[in-house]
Amino acid sequence: MKTYGKNIFYVLMLLLCMASCRTIQEPINEMVVNYIECIDKSSLLDSTRVVKPSSMDSESIIGNVWRILASNDRIFIVDRKNNKLLCYDNDGNFIKSTESLIGKGKDEYIRIFDAAIDPNEGVLYVYFDAPYRMMTFDMNLNRINTYQLNEYYFEIAISGNSLYALCLSSDDNGMELRRFDKHNPCGEYQVLLTQNEFIKGIWGLGKWMTSDDKNCWVALPFSNKIYSIRDTKILSENSINFGDRWFDYGESKNLNLNSFFNYNDNKIWMIYNIVASDSLLLFNTNEAGLVSAVKETRRAILSLELHDEEFPLVSSLIYPVGGLSNTVAMVVSPSLIKHYKEGAQKRNYKIELANKRNEQIINEYQESDNPLIVISKIKHSLP
């Protein structure tokens, strides 16, 4: 009887542990995707603000934009090409970068990889993969602390008291989402999600995970599900039904790289760059286009192009603005602006925009300037 009682106790404890590992407060929701050529930006996004980050010297130059973070008066750019995190104010004035910390010392780094922001405490968490370490900074990029890590993280995010990291599973055959106490990022962790249908060597250019001022949003690689998470709780799970556009894992898992891409031409196998309001989800996939989904109606649209009368240089590739709710950004590269201005000149077309400030930014833009950051708020529903 004692042994039986112990077994019952262990079973109950195991069930409680499993429940705490993956607590979903809402049922799984399916969103069916329809496909169109173009959607008007004004039907998805409200106010638009164009920020021109200053390029006053070599330290302020942006090589590429990997991730965008923001607080009420700061904009941060993770620049993997130039190997630094840059800080600007809301008007684009350069404040500081982490360039001076590049090195091999205890509180230095060799290669930056990702970053997340805790808007409530005003702390940035920056992950470096060479060597594996994490540093925390204040909103002016003054270093607070350095943590030595033992593993590779694909991405990080912050929500509440939690730091999340996407990592390979312990057997290296899948991926898992780990939750750490944000004040102890090298301590014990809890696995919240796992993805065993994983194909090594197939990556992407978007972000699988992002966080606003409340929740973390994540879509694991090769999964059509989007999760919202706060601390240890999975608040919702949305299954995106792409129909016959979704790839076949069973047929694809043993293909080499060239065969994979040929077999899955025009197929979707990853979800990236998730941004959410209370009612609306926006995200990209490995295929061109922007998906907009209304939670209440379960209606989703994948549009190949985004039309914008107010600022015609935006594209369907979005950047979640970490730290701010309902906020999305587009990045306009110098080459695109140059092409646009040359095309207008060839057609003897005078660039005139309804917003005269934006018009001035375009007309005065130089090829040596930093890319423009176009920041917008998401509407709460589709028309």
141 within some domain = yes
pLDDT of 279 over the 90 cut: no
In the prediction, which pLDDT does 308 show? Answer: 86
Residue type, 174: G
Mean pLDDT of 186-204: 92
Tell me if 150 sits within 8 A of 186, measured CB to CB. yes
Spatial CB neighbours of 12, under 8 Å, sequence gap ≥ 6: none
Least confident of 10-19, 110-119, 179-188, 250-259: 10-19
pLDDT of 9 over the 60 cut: no
Q: Is the peptide bond before 131 cis (omega within 30 degrees of 0)?
A: yes
139 within some domain = yes
pLDDT of 347 over the 80 cut: yes
In the prediction, which pLDDT does 217 show? Answer: 96
Confidence band (pLDDT; 50, 70, 90) for 41? confident
In the prediction, which pLDDT does 298 show? Answer: 85
Q: Indicate the number of domains in the chain.
A: 1
Tell me if 375 sits within 8 A of 273, measured CB to CB. no
Mean pLDDT of 36-60: 91
In the prediction, which pLDDT does 309 show? Answer: 79
The upper half-sphere exposure of residue 10, i.e. CA atoms within 13 Å in the direction of its Cβ, equals: 6
Mean pLDDT of 71-90: 96
Mean pLDDT of 170-183: 92
User: With 0-12 CB in 10 A as exposed, 13-18 as middle and 19+ as buried, what is 3?
Assistant: exposed
Confidence band (pLDDT; 50, 70, 90) for 380? low
Q: Domain limits at 195?
A: 24-378
Mean pLDDT of 309-333: 92
15 within some domain = no
Residue type, 19: A
Spatial CB neighbours of 285, under 8 Å, sequence gap ≥ 6: 268, 270, 271, 272, 291, 302
More confident residue, 234 or 295: 234
State the chain's mean pLDDT as an integer: 89
215 within some domain = yes
For residues 275 and 269, give the distance between their C-alpha atoms in angstroms, rounded to a whole number.
19
Q: Is the peptide bond before 221 cis (omega within 30 degrees of 0)?
A: no
Helices (H), the chain: 2-21, 249-252, 257-263, 334-346, 356-364
Output the CA–CA distances (angstroms, integers) from residue 312 to 342, 358, 367, in the order listed: 15, 10, 18
Mean pLDDT of 226-255: 95
What is the per-residue DSSP string for 168-201? Answer: E-TTSSSEEEEEEETT-TTS-EEEEEEE----TT
Tell me if 80 sits within 8 A of 62, measured CB to CB. no
In the prediction, which pLDDT does 355 show? Answer: 87
Tokens of 372: 């423009």
pLDDT of 84 over the 60 cut: yes
pLDDT of 25 over the 80 cut: no
180 within some domain = yes
Find tokens 């204040």 and name the residue: 138
In the prediction, which pLDDT does 294 show? Answer: 85
Query: Among residues of the chain, what percentage have pLDDT more than 70?
Result: 92
Tell me if 149 sits within 8 A of 133, measured CB to CB. yes
Nearest-CA neighbor of 148 among 191, 96, 190, 184?
184
Q: What does DSSP assign to residue 268?
A: B
Confidence band (pLDDT; 50, 70, 90) for 383? low
Mean pLDDT of 234-256: 95
Tokens of 281: 């989800």
Report pLDDT digits (tens) over 133-147. Answer: 999 999 999 999 999
14 within some domain = no
7 within some domain = no
CATH number for the domain harbouring residue 348: 2.120.10.30
Mean pLDDT of 318-324: 96
61 within some domain = yes
More confident residue, 150 or 3: 150
